[in-house]
Amino acid sequence: MATRKKTQAAQTEAAAEETPKKAASKKPAAKKAAKKKTAAKKVSAKKKTAARRRGADGDELPTVDADAEEEVPERRGKGPHYLVVVESPAKAKTIKKYLGTGYTVKASVGHVKDLPKSKIGVDVEHDFQPEYTVIKGKEKVLNELKKMAKTVDRVFLATDPDREGEAIAWHIKEELGHPDSLRVTFNEITKRAVQDAIAQPRQLNQDNYDSQQTRRILDRLVGYQISPLLWKKIRRGLSAGRVQSVAVRLIVEREAEIKAFQPEEYWTLDALVQGPQGPPPFKAKLSRVDGKRVELKDRATTDGLVAELKDAPFTVAKVDRKERRRNAPAPFITSKLQQEAANRLHFTAKKTMTLAQKLYEGVPLGEEGQTALITYMRTDSTRLSDDAVTQVRDFIGKKFGADYLPAEPMVYKSRKGAQDAHEAIRPTSLEYPPERVRPFFDAMDELDMFRLYELIWNRFVACQMKAAVYDQTSADITAGRATFRASGSTLKFPGYLGVYGAGLTPEEEAAAEKAKAAGEEGAEDAVGELPPLNEGEVLSLDRLLNEQHFTQPPPRFSEATLVKELEERGIGRPSTYAAILSNIQDKKYVEKLESRFRPTDLGQMTNEMLVKHFPHEMDVTFTASMEEKLDQISDGGASWKTVLHDFYGPFKETLEKAEAEMRDVKREEIKTDIACEKCGNPFVIKFGKMGHFLACSNYPDCKNTKDFKRDAEGKIVIVEEETTDEKCEKCTKPMVIKRGRFGRFMACSGYPDCKTSKPISIGVNCPECKVGYLTERRSGRGKIFFGCNRYPECKFAAWDRPLAEQCPQCASPYLLQKFSKRDGAYIACPNKECDYRREVVEQGVPGGAAEAAPASPPPAVA
């Protein structure tokens, strides 16, 4: 259009030059053409500027060209003009669909201002006045927003509906300086929700902003004053945090419990019996002896009871038949979503929240364009809107029938202390069932995002369905002075399980473990049907099964159980859990092995220092009480300055004392009576990147080092290097096994003169390239996987350990050692078209076998 106008203007000018009189007679027309030419140039310039602003995906980014003149954009069209500011470009694209002409939607791309990185940025002498500065790289974003704000009648600040979003909106308002800037919030990005929010704007909430600002200042005071102390005393690059350090403490203390745990022997006795109708036999567990609960502590007691009962008649004394109901779980809150995604999908908390953010902001659904699929994903409330409940009840009635629909809507209580600011996490509309949107996710190659959406959808539908009903049968069987108990249950009515599946939720698993630990009858009820039994019937004994067991230590935390622990103790907020778990791994305080967190030497050392010198700040109850105070500020019940004054006085005294008394681990050398075999000088204990180690005191003249461990009495025992039969390819010296940051590897024993190293084979040839061999490797997040030693030439990788065994069914050159919560350890063929599978026969040992990692897709090796 602009090109056509430019051509018309040029033709008019040419005609005026050829015939001056004619041009003079048409002077008004010439002036009009000249104006068109000027307008065309402006339009063309704007298009070029817009093209320069386009991102890689073609969307306009909220930036301004550095060379562009600072001109106020001209208003186009009639009527009022509005600027809507959101946080992300994806969210801006979705919201733009729902607003008519006159609305411009721009993204701030998160925070635009923050405390400076180069200094503490808080004036503690003047009521903790913060010094906010524009974040580096956000100047262009703000310049663009300022230019747009000069041309509009009103600015709507539509950042996320939480305290963090309130702070972002506050800072944007300060920078834009528009006299008519109002706050709008919505729990879901739907046409109705967005338009209702725009129609009912409000002023910014001072209390929410103060609460967020208090959290930010607290974290800065703790982090920027304790972290330098750790740099000075332990190692550069360390950090301490009001919440993250407490999370590390939980992991360290759990590890201490495990190390201090002493296994105790116990035995179980089961009877394999048959009813009058014959096989198959069923199992009954020993319940009582002489009417009292019995604990079999040793083999002698168990064998004596076996000898006593093997010839005794087994008689059915009592049969109980009853219905058992399993109620539907509540809709997702943030923490429960993270736990279930970890249990069912094997997602990290960080991955779960990243995918949920995208589902909230919107994904492209073909002709419908960018569409938000779930409500706001940071919430602690199980509340659902009346409209949502009405829609899902209608959906359940039509799809599953009236039998699955409760007479009244299901209402769930939120936990004590919940802010209840937003609804539970749910689909924005039931017009987008998983089967309808699956093709769009497939086209984007976003299977994991689809799986998370399907989980949220199923949980929401299930929460408004009837309970599952089981027929449960229990039978007491007497034999001499012993009573055995057999139990079984069958699903009578699936209820919500028809949507959500039979897997236990974290809450149900915790309740089952608690009942089992308390020794409650029925805590280990079997799933399956018992044969028809009647009181007084005599059963035939096939055999008595006596097994030895050992008590197990408390399990290490997984992502799901650590999130659950943090939530139950009131530490932090669910919206921060993903960042906490990522940070403590990035800082190498903990590592994740076989899907469980273990503290590193660095984590244990740092925790020991912090707990000793900052007992109040690192106390779990202190962290939880601080969260309550932040809630009080948000509710208008406390002054943010008072909270900071109450905290900082004692903290400053503790900090000064810690600086004077904390051990200087960096320079610390603990003398030992062990002599260096190379120069005869004594070894000293030092602390380095890999933890504590022995180093020759004659360093740097002698650079000899050794790994060590302590025996039961605390005595130092040198861990000798593991030798191999393999010779170095360069110098022919023996290769030894060493440990590095990514696990074990082979190195030349002639180091440092010879620096040859290579990965360790697991005894399986690479099935892909047929040239290399498979080695145990560790991802950047610390998870073990198995890959070819010829990487990057060969990129074969697998999470499960390959075995050098050919599949007997399809002749696959290797099998996989797998593990699942339901089936335990088993061996299976990697060929998806082959169904070969067998159980793993494990030898019972005190303490049990190590848990294997759950099956997952192979890692993308970069």
Query: Which pLDDT band, with edges at 50, 70 and 90, does 608 fall under?
Result: very high
Residue 671 has pLDDT above 90, yes or no: no
The H-assigned helical ranges of 554-639 are: 559-569, 574-586, 601-613, 620-634
H/E element, 345: helix 334-345
Report pLDDT for 861: 33
What span, in angstroms and rounded, lies between the C-alpha atoms of 670 and 682?
11
Task: Decide if 376 is catalytic.
Answer: yes
Residue 723: CB atoms within 10 Å: 11
Report pLDDT for 504: 64
Question: b/e string for 788-810 if b means 16 or more Cβ within 10 A?
Answer: bbbbeebbbbbbbbbeeeebeee
On average, the pLDDT of the chain sits at 83
pTM of the model: 0.71
Report pLDDT for 853: 35
What span, in angstroms and rounded, lies between the C-alpha atoms of 858 and 784?
11
Report pLDDT for 847: 33
Q: What are the pLDDT digits (tens) for 74-109?
A: 555 566 899 999 998 888 888 988 998 889 999 998
Report pLDDT for 277: 81
Report pLDDT for 782: 62
DSSP strand pairing (761-765 vs 815-820): unpaired
What span, in angstroms and rounded, lies between the C-alpha atoms of 571 and 249?
12
Q: What are the pLDDT digits (tens) for 111-150?
A: 999 999 989 999 999 999 999 999 998 999 999 999 999 9
Quickly list DSSP for 756-813.
-EEPPEEEEE-TTTSSSEEEEEE-TTS-EEEEETTTTT---EESSEEES---TTT--S
* Whether 124 contacts 48, CB under 8 Å: no
Report pLDDT for 699: 87
The H-assigned helical ranges of 477-558 are: 497-500, 506-517
Report pLDDT for 284: 93
Residue 177: CB atoms within 10 Å: 11
Q: In the structure encoding, which two tokens stand for residue 723, read together?
A: 């030798």
Q: What are the pLDDT digits (tens) for 473-510?
A: 999 999 999 999 999 888 899 999 999 987 666 666 66
Q: Which residue has the higher pLDDT, 691 or 309?
A: 309
Options 209, 376, 404, 814, the catalytic residue: 376
Please state the φ and ψ torsions of residue 535, each to the nearest 5 degrees: -60, 135
Report pLDDT for 652: 94
Give the count of alpha carbons within 13 A of 6, CB side only: 9
Which of 722, 779, 768 shows the shortest CA–CA distance to 749?
A: 722
* Whether 451 contacts 438, CB under 8 Å: no
Q: What are the pLDDT digits (tens) for 356-377?
A: 999 999 999 998 888 999 999 9
Query: Which pLDDT band, with edges at 50, 70 and 90, does 722 fall under?
Result: confident
Q: What is the mean pLDDT of residues 263-292?
A: 91
The DSSP output letter for 366 is: G
Query: Which pLDDT band, with edges at 50, 70 and 90, does 822 fall under?
Result: low
Report pLDDT for 858: 35
Q: What are the pLDDT digits (tens) for 389-422?
A: 999 999 999 999 999 999 999 999 877 666 667 8
Question: b/e string for 458-485 if b means 16 or more Cβ within 10 A?
Answer: bbbbbbbbbbbbbebbbbbbbbeebbbb
Q: What are the pLDDT digits (tens) for 165-186?
A: 999 999 999 999 999 999 999 8
Least confident stretch, 166-180, 297-311, 668-682, 739-753: 739-753
* Whether 725 contacts 732, CB under 8 Å: no
